[in-house]
Amino acid sequence: MSDIKGPVPDAQVDGSSLRVAIVHARWNKTIIDALVTGALKKLKEAGVKENNIVVESVPGSFELPLACSRMIAGSHIQVASNQADLLGGLNFGSSSGIASPRVPSRTGTPAPAAPSSNQPFDAVIAIGVLIKGATMHFEYICDAVSHSLMKIQVDTGVPVIFGVLTALNDDQALERAGLGRGDNKGHNHGEEWGLAAVEMGSHVRRWGTGKFL
């Protein structure tokens, strides 16, 4: 029987011009590693360049919202400081008082490829694995993290992909990372998160220029 769950893939996703961050928790690391691998696989298949992918980690899922928020802000600061460095490298001063940008020599070594940090993140994938324990921790963290991640994407306009498994037991989590212990290995949802990042990053760029299908 075919699986009716999950999105119908958008055949047009092209990530070749996108910059994407993954931030993952380190609780339940085996499952996390599989999910991150799945997300990376689909990002690369969709054309996202290796040097346009940043991977960071935090202790647990509770730390994911702050990490996403600061990484989005930091990527804008990175762009601004790169632009300032670039302008600083141009000599606009002249003895006549007339600004004259220095023309780079044609005989010198070719300019290096533009650094990937010259654009802010188009999407951030937040990956965590929360597994219910004996206390109320699970409920509080799931609630706080899911609401905060949604708020960050709406407030910043940068897609934040919800890559947080909220499982009632180990097997549920393992199966959602394609690591099921029984006959059913399940499916690695990290793959959908990678594709969702590319699709949403592309949409938001296009919508930002006032272009609609």
What does each C-alpha distance from 62 to 105, 148, 158 come to in angstroms?
A: 52, 10, 20
Among 45, 55, 57, 60, binds ligand RBF (CB under 6 A): 60
Q: At which residue do the structure tokens 């600083």 appear?
A: 88
| Residue 76: active-site member | no
CB of 133 to ligand RBF, least distance (A): 6
For ligand RBF, which residue of 61, 69, 78, 188 counts as binding (CB under 6 A)?
A: 61
* Structural contact between residues 121 and 161, judged by C-beta atoms closer than 8 angstroms: no
Task: Please name which of 112, 109, 117, 49 lies closest in space to residue 83, comparing C-alpha atoms.
Answer: 117
Q: Identify which range of 6-14, 45-53, 54-62, 201-209 contacts ligand RBF by CB under 6 A.
A: 54-62
What per-residue string of b and e applies to 101-117 under the rule 16 or more CB within 10 Å gives b?
A: eeeeeeeeeeeeeeeeb
- Closer residue to ligand RBF in complex, CB, 71/131: 131
42, 62, 152, 160: which one contacts ligand RBF (CB under 6 A)?
A: 62
CA distances from 208 to 13, 52, 135, 157, 205 (A): 17, 20, 44, 10, 5
106 phi, psi to nearest 5 deg:
-80, -15
Q: Which stretch binds ligand RBF (CB under 6 A): 21-29, 74-82, 97-105, 196-204?
A: 21-29
- Binding of ligand RBF at residue 128 (CB under 6 A)? yes
- For residue 76, which amino acid is it? H
63 binds ligand RBF (CB under 6 A): yes
Catalytic residue among 137, 187, 189, 203: 137
CB nearer to ligand RBF: pick between 62 and 121: 62
Q: Helices 64-89 and 137-156, interaxial angle, to 10°?
A: 30
Identity of the residue, 66 or 87, whose beta carbon is nearer to ligand RBF in the bound complex = 66
CB of 130 to ligand RBF, least distance (A): 4
Q: Is residue 152 at the binding interface for ligand RBF, with CB under 6 A as the rule? A: no
Does 196 contact ligand RBF by CB under 6 A? no
162: contact with ligand RBF by CB under 6 A: no
Nearer to ligand RBF, 28 or 188 (CB): 28
SS3 per residue for 141-179? HHHHHHHHHHHHHHHHCCCEEEEEEEECCHHHHHHCECC
Which residues of this chain interact with ligand RBF, rule CB under 6 A? 25, 27-28, 59-63, 128-131, 133, 135, 137, 141
Residues marked active site are found at 137
